[in-house]
Structure 1
Amino acid sequence: MEQQVNDIKPAYCEICPVLHSLEIIGGKWRIPIIWHISIAKTIRYNELKRSIPGITNIMLTRSLQALEEHGLVKRVEYNKIPPHVEYSLTEVCEELLPALRIINEWGKKIP
């Protein structure tokens, strides 16, 4: 009996690409992070934090880690004195920027 329940597949088996994309870039902070990195091209952690009002260190760190795990942000660590880290967008994320620009323009038009 239990095997029969596990064999039943929902009609919607595959993940919708739009929903999958929104899971990756959704949330309060990820798009602003992507946007500010795209403007700067390469940016240090503290510069990024200053450019996004209201974000905490924990949320910035977690969001950057998630974006890095999904291959959207590249983190380069420099072992100089003083040590520092720089963030930039990957080519995959660069492909997202035209869509964000369109959404930006659309957002300006809606009441």
Structure 2
Amino acid sequence: MRPDGSLFFGNVNRVRLAVRDQAERTTPPPRAVVLDLTGSYRLGIPVLDALDEVRDELAVQRIDLHLAHVRARAELELTRHPLAGHLGPHGLHHTVDQAVSAATGRSG
């Protein structure tokens, strides 16, 4: 999934709900969700908190969250938030292709 623009405190809850709802509607249920953050140059605390919430919600359903195209500034902000530890080193990717490969267990 890719938000239409930059994530910020005013739209992140809507994106969180959209990710959760899409995962619940998909049949069969996905093993992972890849969130493309191309449009987000910064990730403030409200955004990081909401992404951690969606990660928690997906984890209850045994769905992994992978983030792709995290910009350098946003990645620095992410590393300072608990979400970085929750995602682990295998949850952050430079490209969507890398994220999909990691999510599906393919090398790429």
Q: Same fold (TM over 0.5)?
A: no
Q: TM-score, normalised by structure 1?
A: 0.27
With CA pairs under 8 Å and 6+ residues apart, which has the higher RCO, 1 or 2? 2
Larger Rg, first or second structure (1 or 2)? 1
